[in-house]
Structure 1
Amino acid sequence: MLRHNVNLVHFVLVASAINFIFFHYPFFKYAFTALDYKTLGGTTIIVSLVIAMLLANAFVLYLIFFFSRLVGKIVLTFFFLVNAIAIYFVNTYHVLIDPTMIGNILNTSYDEASSFFSFQLMLYVILLGLIPVVFIIKVKITKETFKRFLPRFSLTFLFLVLLVFGNGGNWRWIDKNSPQLGSLAMPWSYVVNTSRFYLDKFKENKKVLLLPDAKIKDPVKSLAVLVIGESARRENFSLYGYEKFTNPLLSKVEHLHSFKATSCATYTTAGVKCILEHTNSRKLYEILPNYLYRNEVDVIWRTTNWGEPPVHIKNFHKKEDLNKGCEGQACNYDEILLKGLKEQILASKKDKIFVVLHTSTSHGPSYNTRYPPEFEKFAPVCTSVELGECSQESLVNAYDNTIVYTDYILSRLIEGLKELKEYNSTMLFVSDHGESLGEYNLYMHGIPAAFAPKEQLEIPFLVWLSDGSKKLKPNEILSQHHIFHSILNFLAIESPIYDENMNIFK
């Protein structure tokens, strides 16, 4: 076949069919579970989806290849390689390639991305990506004349239009399930949703909206530390009744209070934005650290993670900054966030200090690499990035060990704050989102919040207070947006946008 010229129509039909066979099992698996395919209406939808999938992809390829066979080969090569990677993650972690997931991908650091590397991923890329690409590159395609192109293009377009209108009675079902279907159709899931992501970003980030000026009401030395957890789900904290003792140290800490909370999103960038903004909005308002820094509060940000909105302060320290001069095992884990923190606080010349520690402790899939060996309290543990291949027990054990390590970090932080007796201090711990550990055959996070399982939304909200500082209201259920207004209250910051209803302190 490769030695002879191939008709363009035959080529795009074969390419569309291979794309259909290789990459659309999850698409039709969802369709079969979401409708009654044994009825006439269900059968009509399935048949229409098959025809539309095959014909629409061939139609687009036909158009591209007609104008340029070189561009067509480049585009098709890109599609097969990216499709192979995308379908691996869909099959392995049961993700949806929607604008939310596109945001996760585009904001993923190298360290996090490399943790997903596996032999199975390479097999997907080789078998479903590279091998078809070799044929795409080598095949010789005959040039199509405009005389043949126009009627074929027009008739195919007309047929697709008639197919759409012929399914008028099924539009309600298609519209209801379009988020899931659109997130599983290759390559359109990532092509369309990447465009949607950047369009939304453009609308959101036209200009950061500054908040009205604030002022400090008193000279009392106050210190507020916000710890942003990563993928910490409430269900696995023994402070909330979990049967495994994952909080052996925090359970003994006086003046520590635990509240139920729900995240507003299931991915880091949106979750952190919710924690730092004063109200739930798609607009990019000035976030808490920038606002406090602009209004004469000393702000320190330390992170081993990523995904925060733009932070405009002097003392912003990434992992590589904290690693300078660091020796010992702790430098490889989130304990590094505490290195030199006390000294940095004592060096401040201001009465009001706000510290943010952005952790990465419970981020998957390699949970077993997120804590030092001595914190492997529960065994056996999952050591594979192919989470579906691990037993449920070993997967949960590895995750629970990250919570044990989080418990240790927070307890060490609190002990350090107790030593700063000249400050009224508080520590608030809240996670960016939760995590799935195989429930409903889902792993990690990133399912759109509208239909995400509770495991990805229910998060811990812990508050510690030093002696003689504040008291807490009788709160029950909190949100990530309580952080902004509670920090303003604790630091005695008077602001026109302060909302007493969103403050947790008396």
Structure 2
Amino acid sequence: MSILKNNWKITHFALLMSFLNFLFFHLPFFTFVVDKVDYKSFAGVTLIVSLVIIMLVANFFVFYLFFFLSRVVGKSLLVLFFIINAIAVYFVNTYGVIIDESMIGNVLNTNYAESSSFFSIKLIVYLILLGIVPSIFIIKAKIINVTWKKFLITSSVTLVFMLALAYANASNWLWIDKNSKTLGGLAMPWSYSVNLSLFYIHKHQKNEKEILLPNATIKDNKKSVIVLVIGESARRQNFSLYGYKKNTNPLLSKTPNLFHFDATSCATYTTAGVKCILEHTSTDELYEILPNYLYRNNVEVIWRTTNWGEPPIHIKNYQNTDALMPNCKGDGCKFDEILLSGLKEQILASTKNKILIVLHTSTSHGPSYSKKYPAQFEVFKPVCNSVELGNCSQTDLINAYDNTIVYTDYILHQLIENLKELKEYNSAMIFVSDHGESLGEKNLYMHGVPMSIAPKEQYEIPFLVWLSDSSKQLKPNKMLSQNNVFHSVLNFLGIQSPIYNEQMNIFK
């Protein structure tokens, strides 16, 4: 308490805040650096020491500037930084995430149901010890300002020192540039503050106006329905259809006319993965996506979802959990089975011959894998029940995750059985995941690692196709991508379009 009552010169206080920020929140940053450089060599030691100094000095300079211009604003920003830093470093330490622009997008597209699943006592401990306690000190500290002359001298010396240190490390610029995305995603508070600004700048640029695709034409009157199931965090290597040793596909493995292909995702997070599945080509532009395009061209389009993060959907029949729940009965309504409730009846009630249905699932989304399926699907035991995945054995964690794949197998089988009853329709189902998932490999959990450094677990995905007896045949496809979906759906439904790409179509 005596420390709290002391008067602090602005220079000393900014130095102390920079040191505490470094001490509390940058272990992941320097763990990454030490892992990537030869710390036993002179060059490696020089780089590490230089990064420590530059981080301390750079943060001092910014904090010093804040407090000189306004102590109230400076304190407010610093309190905000320490609280958000505490939360951010918890997720970095617990799940191995990197707070880059794509991760900011994940956070902003997270709803309450998903975010609440991350709650843990450990998170509260981080928040209190690393966020709230320092914030009390910051609020109570009395800060003595300096004259403009002293401010200008201190600022100038600091800037010259940083430039000199940067120049002295010219030989390391290439290494820093190569790893800049990861380094920037682990430097607090700049990881989220800078990337938050970049996210909104890029979002504004992309969403200024949806670029319409050229008009399409329906070539025939054959009754056709195709169901696109967008999986969530389903990684290919845990499907027994692909040779996984545990039988996670007991039903689909016995289903006639079901085919599986190797595939990769465009990204390791939901918003980009779903966008890629629905667009005609991988691009940063916001082109008209598949459901909007077909709906505008007189195809019946139904979107059902227990998830979020898709691009803007402009159709009549958009149904989320709240819309589906009143007509759903049974315990399965608490899970992704709700997506099948009344679906067959909705198809039969359509007055159109061409129907696209999109089911956006959430079955394998972490960290609470064990809560994503009904009790009878807990085939593999014991399971991890903690949201702090690093506290579970990898065996328990993978068991819980594998049970979500068993449940996915059941849902897809039930969907296929429903489609088989639609005798008047040529029907098909495509299941493709938005991205994969890390389950402790290389000490990484869940997903969201930048594609440039992402492990294969986060982008190798399943691509399953089922066809009714009277519908099309498949090409001898080998490796597919999410962009194959758009053109394959157009082909199956008999849609003629100037942007159709036969090479991206999986059907004969």
1:116: which partner in 2?
Answer: 118
**Superposition pairs of residues 15-414 of structure 1, within 5 angstroms:** 15-414=17-416
Measure how far apart 1:325 and its partner are.
4.2
The 1-side partners of 2:327 and 2:216 are apart by 38
The range that moved more, 176-185 or 401-410, is 176-185
Measure how far apart 1:147 and its partner are.
2.3
The 2-side partners of 1:327 and 1:220 are apart by 33
Please list the CA deviations of residues 63-82 of structure 1 after superposition, one character each: whole Å capped at 9, or x if unmatched.
01101000000000000000
The 1-side partners of 2:328 and 2:482 are apart by 33
The 1-side partners of 2:389 and 2:141 are apart by 38
The 2-side partners of 1:219 and 1:379 are apart by 50
The 1-side partners of 2:473 and 2:149 are apart by 81
Aligned length, in residue pairs: 506
Among 482, 489, 492, the residue aligned to 1:490: 492
The 2-side partners of 1:406 and 1:73 are apart by 49
Please list the CA deviations of residues 422-465 of structure 1 after superposition, one character each: whole Å capped at 9, or x if unmatched.
10000000000000111111111000111111111110100001
Measure how far apart 1:202 and its partner are.
2.1
Counterpart secondary structure, 2:452: helix
Measure how far apart 1:36 and its partner are.
1.1
Counterpart secondary structure, 1:449: coil
Measure how far apart 1:99 and its partner are.
0.8
Counterpart secondary structure, 1:2: helix
Please list the CA deviations of residues 26-59 of structure 1 after superposition, one character each: whole Å capped at 9, or x if unmatched.
1111111111122222121111111111111010
Counterpart secondary structure, 2:182: helix
Conserved in 1, the CA contact under 8 Å of 2:447 and 2:458? yes
The 1-side partners of 2:6 and 2:265 are apart by 58
Conserved in 1, the CA contact under 8 Å of 2:327 and 2:341? no
Counterpart secondary structure, 1:324: helix
Conserved in 1, the CA contact under 8 Å of 2:232 and 2:365? yes
The 1-side partners of 2:45 and 2:4 are apart by 38
The 1-side partners of 2:368 and 2:248 are apart by 19
Counterpart secondary structure, 2:5: coil
The 2-side partners of 1:325 and 1:429 are apart by 25
TM-score when normalising by structure 1: 0.99
Conserved in 1, the CA contact under 8 Å of 2:302 and 2:358? yes
Please list the CA deviations of residues 343-372 of structure 1 after superposition, one character each: whole Å capped at 9, or x if unmatched.
111111000000000000000000000000
Q: Taking every aligned residue pair, what percent have the same amino acid on both sides?
A: 67
* Unaligned ranges ≥5, structure 1: none
Alignment RMSD (CA, Å): 0.8
Among 425, 434, 437, the residue aligned to 2:436: 434
TM-score when normalising by structure 2: 0.99
The range that moved more, 45-54 or 33-42, is 33-42
Conserved in 1, the CA contact under 8 Å of 2:95 and 2:444? yes
The 2-side partners of 1:379 and 1:280 are apart by 40
Structure 2 counterpart of 1:431, which letter? S
The 2-side partners of 1:290 and 1:31 are apart by 45
The 1-side partners of 2:4 and 2:478 are apart by 68
Please list the CA deviations of residues 259-307 of structure 1 after superposition, one character each: whole Å capped at 9, or x if unmatched.
1101110000000000000001010100000000000000000000001
* Unaligned ranges ≥5, structure 2: none
The 1-side partners of 2:143 and 2:317 are apart by 59
Counterpart secondary structure, 2:260: strand
